[in-house]
Amino acid sequence: MKKDFNVIIEKDEDGFFIASVPELRGCHTQAKSLDELMIRIREAIQLCIEVQKIKTQKLDFIGVQRVSVR
């Protein structure tokens, strides 16, 4: 059964791409390239689903907002 997940991708100061899945607690990975990141996040999602053995809560993607604080 196919499941779709929203993946947040960021780039850190060392140039690594970081991916996280808000719908799955603790589901994240990193890689030096976007191609490798996509392979790794698919693997991470599969592992998180197996380990957590929970039904995922469907979250509707609204958007991303950058917020500045002092």
Q: What pLDDT is attached to residue 59?
A: 74
Domain locations along the chain: 8-52
Domain over 8-52 is classified CATH 3.30.160.250: yes
Please list, in sequence order, all residues whose beta carbon lies within 8 angstroms of the beta carbon of residue 59, skipping any fewer than 6 positions away.
Answer: 6, 22, 23
Task: Note down pLDDT in tens along the chain; length 70 residues.
Answer: 788 899 999 999 999 999 999 888 899 999 999 999 999 999 999 999 888 776 666 778 888 888 889 9
Please list, in sequence order, all residues whose beta carbon lies within 8 angstroms of the beta carbon of residue 38, skipping any fewer than 6 positions away.
Answer: 19
Q: What pLDDT is attached to residue 52?
A: 76
